[in-house]
Structure 1
Amino acid sequence: MTAQPAPVSFAGLHHRPGRPLLLPNAWDHASAAALAARGFPAIGTTSLAVAAGAGLPDGAGVTRERAVRLALTLGSAPYLLSVDAEAGFSDDPGEVARLAAELWEAGAVGINLEDGLGPAARHAAKIAAVKAAVPGLFVNARTDTHWAGDGDERETLRRLDAYQAAGADGVFVPGVTDPERVAALVRHTEAPLNVLYSPAGPPLARLAGLGVRRVSLGSLLYRRALGAAVDAVADIAAGRAPGGTTPSYADVRALERSVPASRSANSTG
């Protein structure tokens, strides 16, 4: 019998030189299951989709329970789950650590925490509290200097240094797309660098060559799904057959998890 390779840990997926972790972000069970079926070993969540699905603002700290609920839905699936937890839904490091423990219990192996350009010391305290409470949880520490700030490089490096010193397992700088700046960040950081994929930025192979270890898709797939739905109904209204890929009813049913027979029998379809 041929020996099967040992499964790679979530942290291990960030330490494959030249092969960055491409992390697609799901928003419900079906989207996560469909991505996993295509061979992606790790799936992230996207806070924009969680908030938009409830008609709430993203990044405002109002979707904690919904984020936990999604983690409970996805955490027992056969893929590695990382949860977008905005800024931890609290300024209190202890509260953020309790959230991290909930996500770990739900089955998540990673958490993404953004500083939202709040005080770097406060964000570092959150990271340290999470690592103390749940040492096995991969903390991806995000700074928004390029996303919501002016992209000041010294401030970016100052924050990344503080977050690494606090115990972050990875660092995330969304919004940076210039190859020279990306390469400079890779050279400066000891923790794996995560960037956000941009259709207008370098392709995956170029990012790999620069030394990036994780490439997240963020809300891109969710936004494209919304766009595809609107395009499809516009095509139908105009008398055209909608283009693009349309999974069949059976394809989507195949993504279902097994449920107890009593519940299945009571389903109305």
Structure 2
Amino acid sequence: MTFKSLHQQPVPLLLPNAWDVSSALAYAAAGFPAIGTTSFGLAAAGGRPDGGRASQQATLALVEALRALPVHLTVDIEDGYSDDPEGVAAFAAGLRVAGINIEDSADGELVDPVVLVAKIAAIKRQAPELFVNARVDTYWFGRQATVERTLERARAYVAAGADGVFVPGTIAPADLRSLTGGVEAPVNVLAHPTLTLSELGELGVRRVSTGSLPYRAAVDAAVRVATDLRDGATPPAATSYHAMQERLVRFQETKPHEG
């Protein structure tokens, strides 16, 4: 199936977000047809806070490593890592992936929607087949966090060429239904704290991202392993060293060799 068609199924596409090669390989082994990246996970793994275009180099390196995977790859590029629409478009096109996620905020603040409109239009001119998921950060930052203001931004991005709209943040079911019914593009949300995948689908949501949740849960699990062992517990079950090593060996063998 094409990446776009995965957004047109009865149940929303669940998109797990990877922060390194091993997490992406594990998602692929679990049968996920598409994998995203997480800017928070990439920045945090390198010891930097999210935002401020901190994830650019790590994102490039991870994308380069993951192109050999037989899955659709969509990449979180924050705000495009530039204020120049043509520069953003060149960067996005050069990734050679199925999709990108690009947001309408910078340094923790919403930007004028015309800024993202210009970037989306430039991207679609340079890479018309790239699935552009336009992230609306109204609910995420609690600013202009109404259905009306969010739809104003979302509709402008779709008119500019966006293929999907991402509205992160905890959103009431009634507002979700209004958002999905008010924009002519698949709506993406983060995994909801109280609604299941099927329930989100009934509200019109077509894609659900894990975001940085798996990365944060993995850090918690690592601490729990160490503290449990310190406190006298037995080691937990986990994928064996040999199984993960074999997965990495096979992955290296599938990667194209330079020269």
CA shift, 1:163, in A, is: 0.3
Corresponding position of 1:210: 203
Corresponding position of 1:115: 104
Give the secondary-structure state (helix, strand or coil) at the position aligned to 1:36: helix
Q: Any conservation in 2 of the 1:231–1:242 contact (CA below 8 Å)?
A: no
Give the secondary-structure state (helix, strand or coil) at the position aligned to 2:223: helix
| Counterpart check, 1:186 vs 2:186 | no
Corresponding position of 1:41: 33
CA shift, 1:132, in A, is: 0.6
Aligned letter for 1:19?
Answer: V
**In 1, Cα distance between equivalents of 2:253 and 2:88:** 33
CA shift, 1:254, in A, is: 2.3
Corresponding position of 2:171: 177
Structure 2 residue corresponding to 1:241, chosen from 221, 224, 234: 234
**In 2, Cα distance between equivalents of 1:223 and 1:35:** 16
> Cα deviation per residue 1:42-99 (whole Å; 9 max; x = unaligned)?
0000000110111112111132122111111112211110001111111111111011
CA shift, 1:118, in A, is: 0.8
Structure 2 residue corresponding to 1:142, chosen from 135, 139, 157: 135
Structure 1 residue corresponding to 2:23, chosen from 24, 31, 42: 31
Q: Any conservation in 2 of the 1:177–1:201 contact (CA below 8 Å)?
A: no
**Structure-1-length-normalised TM-score:** 0.89
Q: Any conservation in 2 of the 1:114–1:142 contact (CA below 8 Å)?
A: yes
Structure 1: state its 5+ residue gaps: 1-7, 264-269
Q: Compute the RMSD of aligned alpha carbons.
A: 1.4
CA shift, 1:133, in A, is: 0.6
| Counterpart check, 1:197 vs 2:186 | no
Aligned letter for 1:57?
Answer: P
Give the secondary-structure state (helix, strand or coil) at the position aligned to 1:146: helix
Matches within 5 A, 1:68-87: 68-87=60-79
Q: Any conservation in 2 of the 1:141–1:163 contact (CA below 8 Å)?
A: yes
Aligned letter for 2:218?
Answer: A
Structure 2: state its 5+ residue gaps: none
Aligned letter for 1:119?
Answer: D
Give the secondary-structure state (helix, strand or coil) at the position aligned to 1:83: strand
Change (3 A) 1:69 1:95: same
CA shift, 1:166, in A, is: 0.4
| Counterpart check, 1:15 vs 2:4 | no
Aligned residues: 248
**Structure-2-length-normalised TM-score:** 0.92
| Counterpart check, 1:154 vs 2:148 | yes
Q: Any conservation in 2 of the 1:94–1:126 contact (CA below 8 Å)?
A: yes
Q: Any conservation in 2 of the 1:169–1:192 contact (CA below 8 Å)?
A: yes
Matches within 5 A, 1:88-99: 88-99=80-91
**In 2, Cα distance between equivalents of 1:86 and 1:206:** 28
Instruction: Point out 4+ residue stretches in structure 1 off by more than 6 angstroms.
Output: none
Counting aligned pairs with the same residue, the percent is 48
**In 2, Cα distance between equivalents of 1:254 and 1:155:** 50
**In 1, Cα distance between equivalents of 2:16 and 2:214:** 8
Aligned letter for 1:239?
Answer: G
Change (3 A) 1:130 1:69: same
Q: Any conservation in 2 of the 1:85–1:112 contact (CA below 8 Å)?
A: yes
**In 1, Cα distance between equivalents of 2:166 and 2:235:** 37
Give the secondary-structure state (helix, strand or coil) at the position aligned to 1:211: coil
Q: Any conservation in 1 of the 2:103–2:134 contact (CA below 8 Å)?
A: yes
| Counterpart check, 1:64 vs 2:56 | yes
Q: Any conservation in 1 of the 2:113–2:156 contact (CA below 8 Å)?
A: yes
